[in-house]
């Protein structure tokens, strides 16, 4: 574990040095993120011009869900996209061969080698919006509710990573497939709004098949005292199972990878 932490420090230090060569872009992107967050909050306000609640959610409670979406999307852009999105490029150019020959776990190297510096503020801004929405809602969460929220958020990070790894691993066979990222981003976009806003099979899909509800809706409900420990246990179990499946799928895909010379 100490070895991998040291490697992460080396990787991210190298990325920071490279990206901070253009410091104006670094600062400008934070301003752009702040603008889009404010725009998203204002756009949600439109839905509440003629009603106080939508699917049982007030405006400020809805902002909490929006903030969680923004935070998770930032995590996707900072960690997942700069790494896993290069999978098809590695396969197409044959550079995956170099990854596999390194004396480090290949899944670790393909998942965490790079960092997206320019979106570093998105998770912080998103969590800031969560805090603002919680404060304006007038609810003071207990220690237990905060604990459930933290557990759900950690499970969300694992769930999103596992889904991303599963989808990107398919490029080992489908080298020419395009816009795999767009599929996951489209799924995550549904998390802008509480899962209660959707009906029928869409709601069931976002809860069971693609557990987007566990990433935004349920953590917000935990802070608001509308969720109990059993669902947190389900979230942890689900994230663990999905991570094991994604890792197994990665190893299975590598067995059929013949290298750039084939």
pLDDT tops 90 at residue 216: yes
pLDDT of 222 reads 94
Q: Is the dihedral of CA 182, 198, 208, 227 positive or negative?
A: positive
Q: In percent, how much of the chain has pLDDT > 90? A: 42
pLDDT of 172 reads 86
pLDDT of 134 reads 95
Q: CA 166 to CA 260: how far, in whole Å?
A: 22
pTM of the model: 0.90
Q: CA 14 to CA 19: how far, in whole Å?
A: 9
Q: What pLDDT digit, counting tens, does each position of 32-42 carry?
A: 888 888 888 88
pLDDT of 107 reads 94
Q: What pLDDT digit, counting tens, does each position of 3-32 carry?
A: 888 888 888 887 777 766 666 777 777 788
Give the pLDDT band (50/70/90) at residue 261: low
pLDDT of 184 reads 81
Q: Which two tokens stand for residue 215?
A: 């990433």
209: Cα within 13 Å, side-chain hemisphere: 8
């Amino acid at each position: 574990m100490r070895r991998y932490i040291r490697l992460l420090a080396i990787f991210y230090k190298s990325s920071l040095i490279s990206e901070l060569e253009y410091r104006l872009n670094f600062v400008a992107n934070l301003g752009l993120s702040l603008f889009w967050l404010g725009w998203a909050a204002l756009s949600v306000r439109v839905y509440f011009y003629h009603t106080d609640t939508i699917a049982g959610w007030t405006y400020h409670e809805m902002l909490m869900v929006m903030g969680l979406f923004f935070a998770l999307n930032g995590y996707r852009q900072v960690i997942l996209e700069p790494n896993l999105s290069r999978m098809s490029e590695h396969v197409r150019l044959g550079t995956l061969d170099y990854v596999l020959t390194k004396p480090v776990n290949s899944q670790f190297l393909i998942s965490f080698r790079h960092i997206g510096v320019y979106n570093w503020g998105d998770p912080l801004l998103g969590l800031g919006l969560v805090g603002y929405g919680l404060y304006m809602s007038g609810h003071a969460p207990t220690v237990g509710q905060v604990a459930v929220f933290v557990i759900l958020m950690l499970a969300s990070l694992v769930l999103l990573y596992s889904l991303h790894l599963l989808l990107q691993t398919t490029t080992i066979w489908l080298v020419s497939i395009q816009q795999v990222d767009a599929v996951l981003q489209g799924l995550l976009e549904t998390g802008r709004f509480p899962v209660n806003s959707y009906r029928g099979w869409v709601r069931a899909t976002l809860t069971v098949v693609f557990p987007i509800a566990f990433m935004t809706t349920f953590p917000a409900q935990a802070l608001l005292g509308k969720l109990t420990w059993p669902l947190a246990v389900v979230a942890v179990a689900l994230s663990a199972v999905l991570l094991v499946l994604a890792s197994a799928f990665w190893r299975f895909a590598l067995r059929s990878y013949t290298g750039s010379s084939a």
